[in-house]
Amino acid sequence: MAEGVEGGRADARYLVLHSSAVRITHWLNALAIFIMIGSGWRIYNWEPLFGFQFPVWLTFGGWPEVSQHWHNEQGLAGALQWHFAAMWLLVVNLLIYLVYGVISGHFRRALLPIRPGEIVRDLGAALSGHLVHRVGERNAVQKAMYVGVITVIMLTVLSGLSIWKPVQFQELTAAFGGYDVARYVHFFCMAAIVLFLAVHLTLTALVPTVLPPMITGRVGRRQ
């Protein structure tokens, strides 16, 4: 038995690439983010910050016509219900992940340190097609993106709290520049997460072998 990449057990046939804690929190987070963004877009549509709305089929919270039956309106209540239910999944799962990441050494092993020089080097290599993908190793650009998106998710939660409770958490709301500014911060954090997802999903599509290990945790040694 040898140490897996994530410190788990492995043998001659496979490496443990992702621990079960990372896999479970990853997929729960994916579910929570999916619901939060979908319902958030519906909520946004009721009072757009900019001159556009999200197509309703991309939003989450029940069919508008069914909503007329349940909620006497066209779908805001359903979106709010989902948003304020899924926030618990997002936050509890995030806290578990953060505590696990620190205590298990996952952050130290997998995401840190991030050196600006390495990011520039790896980004250049990636764009010119010379970046070597080694199983179980994240390059500096990946590390920066993962640390970045985790930070943005935390900012999204904090700006969301400041919109939800501008009286009880008024210091937090003030730190974001007040209620109206906090709404913009919340929006741009969402936009940053969507941008991350676009890259994350594109790369997974380009290198589909990275997907099975996020489900099983393992990768064969021959790969």
Interacting residue ranges for another protein, rule: CB under 8 A? 35, 38, 43-47, 53, 55-66, 70-78, 80-82, 84-85, 88, 165-168, 170, 174, 179-180, 183
Nearer to another protein, 136 or 166 (CB): 166
Instruction: Write down the least CB distance from residue 94 to another protein, Å.
Output: 17
Report CA-CA distances (Å) from 147 to 19, 85, 153, 193.
18, 26, 10, 12
- Judged by CB, which is closer to another protein: 60, or 196? 60
For 40, 51, 54, 204, the CA distances from 47, given in Å and listed in that order, are 11, 10, 11, 34
How far apart are the C-alpha atoms of 160 and 2, rounded to whole Å? 44
Q: Which is nearer to another protein, 18 or 183 (CB)?
A: 183
Beta bridge partners of 136: none
**Which one, of 70, 60, 54, 204, lies nearest residue 142 by Cα?**
204
Report which of 150, 156, 148 is spatially closest to residue 97, judged by C-alpha positions: 150
CB of 171 to another protein, least distance (A): 10
Q: Look up residue 13 and give its two tokens.
A: 């046939």
For another protein, which is the closer residue by CB, 170 or 223?
170
Q: C-beta of 64: minimal distance to another protein in Å?
A: 4
Cβ 33 to another protein shortest distance, Å: 13
